[in-house]
Amino acid sequence: MAAADTYHITGGLKGRPAARLVGGDSDDGIQIDSFMAARVTANDTQGTFSAWFNVADIEGTYCVLGGGDASAVEYFYLAVVAGQIQAKCASVGPDVEWDLISTDASIVPHGWHQVTLVQDAVRPRIYLDGKELDLTLTDVTGATVWFDALSLIDGGHIGAADSIAGSAALTLEMKGAVGETKYWDAALSALEVEENYLGRGQTGDLIAKWDMIDNVDDDVGGEDGTIVGQVILQSNYCEFASRFAHELTPAVVADDVTFSVDGETGYAIVVKAA
């Protein structure tokens, strides 16, 4: 980029409340350690996570949520990998228990999607926008493993993988934003997953919900999150906000930036100062 270079950003303005992870690869996330420890204590054998996410590109690997252990390599995570959805779990060793990746996900950069991970005590299943995905089963040695078998997990984050190499390190940070995130201590059916995607109920067996509206509190179970690193809560994270944040080097005070709106579309013209 050079002085007087001009950039045009266009995108839709309809969005969702979300936690935007600003730094990317810099230990950003929403810490939910007490929630993860509580699920281990409860010995959950089945469960369901759902989370809304908005990713800036489909080239990298960006974690939606994950749990791990600071002193041993035991973990699970749910991530966007080159435009597909991966769910992976390893018990101490590390011994991979399951490693699944979708083959037919249709993820649009800068757009909102909901991913759902269901462990039904047979094997994990992954849904995108309410529909079950076809999966490549890279490893299903321990297909039924869930919190009851992951006794060492004592930490977790929304928007990052937690301790997949030990040492409490955060990796695979989300490039974009994560919205409403939920957990049920039961396996939702395919119909229930779709109903949840459509915003219709599913309050039975709901253990936790972080809606990202003004805070990162758990409105159901009280397992409130803690912001770590560069995370900004936005009331309406939308396509325009994502494109403005990621399609060029962030604007600085000296740049000439002009915004305009036409209906539900936002526009920006950025003339770089240097």
Note the CATH number of domain 19-235: 2.60.120.200
Question: CA-to-CA distance for 83 and 113, rounded, in angstroms?
Answer: 12
- pLDDT (tens place) for every residue of the chain, 274 residues total: 677 789 899 999 999 999 999 866 578 999 999 999 999 999 999 999 999 999 999 999 999 999 999 888 899 999 999 999 999 999 988 899 999 999 998 999 999 999 999 999 999 999 999 999 999 999 999 999 999 999 999 999 999 999 887 777 888 999 999 999 999 999 999 999 999 999 987 889 999 999 999 999 999 999 999 999 999 999 999 999 999 999 877 677 778 899 999 999 999 999 987 7
* pTM of full prediction above 0.85: yes
Are 183 and 169 a contacting pair, CB within 8 Å?
Answer: no
- Nearest residue to 46 (alpha-carbon basis) of 125, 131, 130, 157: 125
Which residue, chain included where needed, has tokens 């396509």?
A: 239
